[in-house]
Amino acid sequence: MCFGLAACDARPVSTHHEAYADGLREAGFAELPAGAAWLEAGTAALDDPEPGALPLHVEGWFPDDSPAARAWRVAVTEGQTVFVSARLEGRSAGRLFVEVFRPARDTTAPAFALGSAGEMARVLEVEATRTTELIIRLQPELLRGGRFVLDAAADTPLDLAGIARRRDGRHVSGVRGR
């Protein structure tokens, strides 16, 4: 399933993650330790993304009993179309929020969201309108975790079936120290 969004300087998109976060606040969950930790994990990942490069392939694990999020920073060239695929697997798998951001020119401002998806497996397609860096963030919904697989590539549509075949678990990016 494809989810196409063009980058836009002026109007960052409202993401599935933001809608979910708003729901947590509205339901009063944001005031509870686990809800606050989930929001904080998402912000912290975006503030300090891990270095990466396209094509990017990461496999890892999100615990289901403590909120976690991860993000990667990748360079893109003007005119490139970036395809991002991510999915969450495992017995307790649920929604995985996948987002692509571009850092704001003003480094004190929050990053702009360029695209998002909120299902278990999604492909995002983002067109880079200038040479810049993008941040890809993954975060499962509260109470959910499992093995995740992230693939991002420029200009080449991803082969989801091919990714699904590569499930030997040898490329784990563990959670030690995170």
Partner 1 sequence: MRHRAALALLLGLVACEVEDAALSVIAPPENPREAYLHRIEGAGLGESALARDWAEHARLALTRAARVSSPFRETGSIDPDGTAHAWRLSVRHGQRVRVDIAVQGDTSSRIFVDAFRAGESGLDDVPLRRVPADGAGVAIEPEEDGEVIVRVQPELLHSGRLTVSLVVEPTLEFPVSGRGTPDVGSVFGDPRDGGARAHHGIDIFAPRGTPVIAATSGVVSRVNETPRGGRVVWLSDGERRQSLYYAHLDSQLVARGQQVRPGDTLGLVGNTGNARTTPPHLHFGIYRRGRGPVDPLPFVRPTPTRLAEPGPDTLLVGRWTRANAADVVVRDAPAAAGEVVARLPRGTAMRVVAVSETSLHIHLPDGTHGYIPTRAAEDAANPLRGTVVAGGGRVMAVPARDAAVIDVLDAGERIDVHAVFGDYLFVRTADGPPGWLSVSDS
Binding footprint of partner 1 on the chain (CB under 8 A): 19-20, 22-24, 26-29, 32-35, 61, 63-65, 89-91, 94-95, 141-147, 169-170, 172, 174-177
To partner 1, the closest distance from the beta carbon of 17 in angstroms equals: 13
How far out from the chain centre does Cα 176 lie?
Answer: 19
What is the b/e burial string over 104-125, where b = at least 16 CB atoms within 10 angstroms of the residue's CB? Answer: eeeeeeebbbbbbbbbbbbbbb
Smallest gap from residue 165 Cβ to partner 1 (A): 15
Q: How far apart are CA 50 and CA 44, in angstroms?
A: 11
Pick the closer one to partner 1 by CB: 38 or 83.
Answer: 38
| R_g over Cα of the chain | 15
| Shortest Å distance, C-beta 121 to partner 1 | 15
Tokens of 13: 């998109």
Closest separation between CB of residue 6 and partner 1, Å? 26
Q: Which is nearer to partner 1, 105 or 176 (CB)?
A: 176
